[in-house]
Amino acid sequence: MERQVRCWTERYLAAKADEVPEIEAAAWAALHMPAESGATLVHNGCRYDNVVLDPADPTRVVAVLDWEMATIGDPLMDLDTTLGYWTDPSDSPLLKAHAFGPTHLPGSLSRQEVVARFAERFGRSVDHALFH
């Protein structure tokens, strides 16, 4: 997790053109980073447009695409990526207009339900879900 926070911070600092205090999250992330929860293969792009669903059962993922950002890291980092792309029905129209999938539509889990499902399926603590 330290490596990912450091690398994303370096990318942000190298690309930024203006000082925008509202998005200067690097210091916050470094100060609030929870302890590592383990290491596994991390996809770094868990969202609907990176999966192929079974046409006969659209609740079944048959393939996961877009592996160029994959790395070894804390599995909770995949949870944070998923939540970063997730929108809820109560989100602003602007946020929903730029959604990477239909997560705000009826039938989708809420962000809180995604976190609960992750904890249930992977048996991991999600005490620091706000960080992720």
Closest to 9 measured CA to CA, from 39, 30, 34: 30
Tens-digit pLDDT profile for residues 122-131: 888 888 877 7
**pLDDT (tens digit, 9 = 90+) per residue, 98-116?**
888 888 889 899 999 999 9
Q: What does the angle CA 22 – CA 24 – CA 26 come to, to the nearest 5 degrees?
A: 145
pLDDT of 21 = 74
Q: pTM for this one? A: 0.75
Cα–Cα distance for residue pair 111/77, rounded to 1 Å: 15
The CATH class given to the 35-132 domain equals alpha beta
Where in the chain are the domains?
Answer: 1-33, 35-132
